[in-house]
Chain A
Amino acid sequence: MRYTARTRDRYKNLVALLTGAATFGTVAATGAVTGIAAHDSALRDRARTEADAFRTATARAAAVRARQRIPWSPLVTVVKNRPHRTVVRTVVVHRVSRPGVASVGAGGTVSAPPVSTAPVSTPAYRPPRTVSRAAPPPRAPAPAPAPAPAPSSGSKP
C-alpha cells in the first residue's frame, strides 16, 4: 500500500475521531460517577439530618417526660432500651401491678376439700351376682385421679 497524501489525511481524521470519542467517553464517565457520588452523598446527608432530628426530638420528649414525672429530681431520666426481648406483655404487667392488688381483704375462698363419694366396698358386703345373657352395659370411664395438692409452705430454698 502506498503512503499518499490521501491516506495520510484519512489516518489523521481517524486519529482525531478516536481521540474525540475517547475524550467524550472520559468526560461522560467522570460526570456520571460524580453525579452518582453526589446523589449518594445527598441521600446520606438527608438520612443523617433525619436521624439527628429524631434523636433531638426523642431527647427533648424524654426531658419533658422527666420534668413532668419527677420535677424534684436534679437528674434527667435516661430512657433505656431493654437489653432482652420482653417475655411478658406490658398489659399483663400492668394488670398485676395496678393500684389495689396489694389491698388485703376477702378473697381466695378456701373450704374443706371435697370428700370422695365413690362407693367403697367392704369385705362384709358383696353385691349379688346376676347372670344375664345380655351384653353388659358399657362402663363409664374411670374418673381421672385427683391431682396432688399444691404446696403452700414457708419459702424453703
Chain B
Amino acid sequence: MTAARWTALGTYVHLATGDPADLPGARRTAEHLLAEVDRTCSRFRADSDLVRANRRPGRWTSVDPLLVAAVQVAVEAAAVTDGLVDPCLGRALVSLGYDRDLHVVHRRAHPVDRPPPPPQPGLWREIGLDPEGALRVPEGCALDLGATGKAWAADLLAAQVVDRFGAHVLVSLGGDVRIDGPDTPRPDWTVRVTEDLDDVEGEVVAVAGGGVATSSTRARRWRTRHGVAHHVLDPRTRRPTDEHWRTVTATGPTCVAANVASTAALVLGRAAVPWLEQHAVTARLVHRDGALTRTGGWPAAPAPRRSRP
C-alpha cells in the first residue's frame, strides 16, 4: 500500500491504493475529478455552476448534471436529519463573513459580520432538481454544499478509482474518509482521528470499509466583529453551533452518511448521543473540555503502556 497527498477543494487530499502500481493513475483520475467537482460545486469560484445558480434564486438555471447530483445528495441529507444538515445556509455563512476562500477571509483587516438572515426552516424542500442538468435555488436561499460536498466527492472518487482500476482504495478529503474496493481480501487500512491535521497523537483505528468522517469546530475559524466564528452552523438559529462538542467522528456505510451523522451531532449538542444511538451510529465525540464519549462499536481507548520496572 502506498499513498499520495496534495491539496484540492480548499483542503488536503490523501489517496492510497492497495497496489502501489495503481497510485499514479488513481492520482491523475483524482486530480481531474476534483477539478471538475470544484468547477461545478464551489461557492468561491465566480465561474462555477453553483454560483451561477445562486445568482438566480427562484428561477431554473442550466447546470452541469454533476452539480445536480451533489445537490440531490445534500437534499437527502436534509431530509434524513429533518433539516439539521441544511444546504440552504449559504447566505448565513456570507453574513458571518465566510464569503471567500478562508485564506482571503483570514487576511481581511476589518472583519465582516452582518445580521444573519431570518431562519427559514424547510426551505431546502423547495430546491428544484432536474437530473438532465437544471437547478432551481429557492427564493431567499443560497446553496452551500460544505456539509456534504467533500464527503460526496470522496465517495465519488473512490467509486471512480474502483470502476477504472478495480483497485482497493482509501480517499480522505479534509477528514472525510471513504474506503472502497473489490470483494477480494481487503488491506488493513488504518485511520488516525485527530482534531488537527498536524496533531501526531490522536487515535488510530482500523477501518474495514465504508466511510469515516470527522467534523470539527476547531478547523475553519475566523474573526468577526462579535468574536471568533466557525463554519458549522445550526440551521435553527443560522449562527455557529454552541460547541458543546468540539469534534465528532462518525462512521457510516458511505462517507456522506458518516459526515451527515458527525455534522448533525455537532448541531444537536447535548442531544447528540441519544440521536446517534437511536440511529446505530458508531461515533467518537470530543466534549468542549476534551472529554471523550463513544457510541456504538467505537473501540475503547487503548490501555496506557506500562513502563518496565
Contacts and interface: CB of A to CB of B under 8 A. Distances in A.
A75 B59 CA distance: 8
A77 B134 contact: yes
Contact of A80 (B133, B206, B264): B133
B156 interface: yes
Contacts of A65: 132
Contact of A96 (B29, B155, B204): B155
B254 A151 contact: no
Interface residues of A, number: 52
A126 B76 CA distance: 62
A107 B3 contact: no
B60 A73 contact: yes
Interface stretch (B107-115, B117-125, B137-145, B194-202): B194-202
A149 interface: yes
Contact of A150 (B14, B69, B252, B280): B14
Interface string A90-110: 111111110111111111111
Nearest to A65: B132
Contacts of A108: 179, 207-212, 251-253, 258, 282
A151 B195 CA distance: 10
Contacts of B298: 110
Interface in A78-136: 78-80, 82, 84, 87-97, 99-114
Given A96-B152, A111-B206, A113-B204, A104 B264 contact: yes
A154 interface: yes
Nearest to A110: B205
Interface stretch (B89-97, B168-176, B234-242): B168-176
Contacts of A93: 65-66, 69, 156
Contact of B210 (A70, A73, A109): A109
Interface in A37-78: 65-66, 69-70, 73, 75, 77-78
B215 A154 contact: yes
Contacts of B258: 104, 107-108
B256 A101 contact: yes
A153 interface: yes
A132 to B, nearest CB: 34
Given A78-B62, A96-B155, A96-B156, A105 B195 contact: no
Contacts of B253: 103, 105-108
Interface string B149-178: 010100110011001000000101111110
Given A102-B260, A109-B282, 10 more contacts: A77-B132, A78-B134, A87-B32, A104-B252, A110-B212, A110-B298, A147-B16, A152-B214, A152-B249, A157-B220
Interface of A: 65-66, 69-70, 73, 75, 77-80, 82, 84, 87-97, 99-114, 144, 146-157
Question: Top 10 A-B pairs ranked by shortest CB distance?
Answer: A154-B216, A154-B219, A108-B210, A107-B253, A155-B174, A108-B251, A149-B192, A80-B62, A97-B69, A149-B190
20 contacts: A73-B60, A73-B128, A77-B132, A82-B64, A94-B69, A101-B76, A104-B261, A105-B280, A106-B281, A110-B207, A150-B3, A150-B190, A150-B191, A151-B175, A152-B214, A153-B195, A154-B174, A155-B174, A156-B219, A157-B219
